[in-house]
Amino acid sequence: MNNTIKNRERTDWWFRQLFRATGLLTIGLLGGIFMMLLLNSIAFFIHVSPVDFFTGSQWDPESAESKYGIAPLLVSTGLVTIGAMIIAVPLGVLTAAFLSEVAPQRLKMFLKPIIEMLAAIPSVAIGFLGIVLVGPGIAKLFGIQNGLNAMNGSVLLAVMALPTIITISEDAINSVPKAHREASLALGANRWETIFKVVIPAAMPGLIAAVMLGLGRALGETMTVLMATGNAAVLPKSFLDAVRTITATIAIEMGEVPYQTTHYFALFAIALVLFAITLAINLVGEYFAGRLRKFQS
């Protein structure tokens, strides 16, 4: 009996060490990526002023004057991502509420796998659909020559963010205690008033986490926006203008740029900016996800 207990304790100790090592390895990899980006960005800022980098309105590294203004890339990235969230957030939250509160069990079992399968579609396939289907539709709808613009990218990113938003939102809504619903109905509220005035507000921390994680998903996408947004590194004026995001810029230029040049280090600088933005969004999402877990417990 004592040997059995000792073997269990030894096994538990080894598993604890394994999990600890895995966690430390993950933190180490994240720290290594950050240090690589930081060191190469410092090499860039030795030659280019940070003020010019963040306030410059032109990104044209191959011109004679080599302009490295990140503003067009930041605005383009923000425009496409915000557009995607305008589409995905209400659609995702309402779909989650429908699945959790309204849909019959058979319909729910049919829809959930389809929604989850959206996450398995390769981004290059979604980008191709943007070129041959969504882009021409936008061009015809608004009477413009080319549908490869910020609106096209927003629609495609919204589709890619939906599985994340719907799945986490549904979990958040399901975590609301049944007593909340019963109390609302007992006070005379109907089913829809209960959903929109009781259940959804009670699930708000989880819904915010879903939105933030969906935002991070859209923000880091590369291939879809590279294929479907026109890749014009200029300040856009509307959703119908061609744009170039930070991720698309890195993907396009990294394979062609000469090694150890200012242009080469500039790509690490914009990658560091994207890393910082994405990390901040994920930390906010984790904060609200933690609040949801406490609420569930």
pLDDT more than 70, % of the chain: 96
The 8 Å CB, 24+ separation contacts for 54-57 are: 57/235
List pLDDT tens digits, range 247-260: 999 999 988 888 88
Burial 42-66 (b: 16+ CB within 10 A, else e): ebbeeebeeeebeebeebebeeeee
Q: Quick one: average pLDDT of 5-11? A: 76
pLDDT value of residue 8: 78
Taking residues 91-107, report their average pLDDT. 91
- Biggest CA–CA distance in the chain, Å, is 81
Residues 95-102, mean pLDDT to the nearest whole number: 92
Question: What pLDDT was estimated at residue 53?
Answer: 92
Q: Which amino acid is at 126?
A: I
Q: What is the pLDDT of residue 95?
A: 94
pLDDT, average across residues 55-59: 88
Q: Give pLDDT, residue 15.
A: 85
Residues found in the chain: 297
Q: What is the pLDDT of residues 60-75, one digit of tens each?
A: 888 778 889 999 999 9
Architecture of the domain defined by 52-296: Orthogonal Bundle (1.10)
> Distance between CA atoms of 87 and 116, rounded to whole angstroms?
18
Predicted model pTM: 0.87
Give the whole-angstrom CA distance, residue 111 versus residue 203: 22
Mean pLDDT of all residues in the chain?
A: 88
User: pLDDT band at 182, cuts 50/70/90?
Assistant: confident
Is the pLDDT at 94 greater than 90? The verdict is yes
CA atoms of 297 and 295, how far apart (whole Å): 5
Q: Residue 288 contacts by C-beta under 8 Å, 6 or more apart in sequence? A: 205, 206, 208, 209, 212
Percentage of residues in the chain with pLDDT exceeding 90? 45
CB 241 within 8 A of CB 13: no
Cα–Cα distances in angstroms (integers) from residue 17 to residues 13, 21, 111, in the given order: 6, 6, 41
Looking at residue 295, its pLDDT comes to: 60
User: How many CB atoms neighbour CB 287 within 10 A?
Assistant: 14
Q: Residue 82, Cβ neighbours under 10 Å: how many?
A: 14
Query: Where do the domains of the chain lie?
Result: 2-46, 52-296
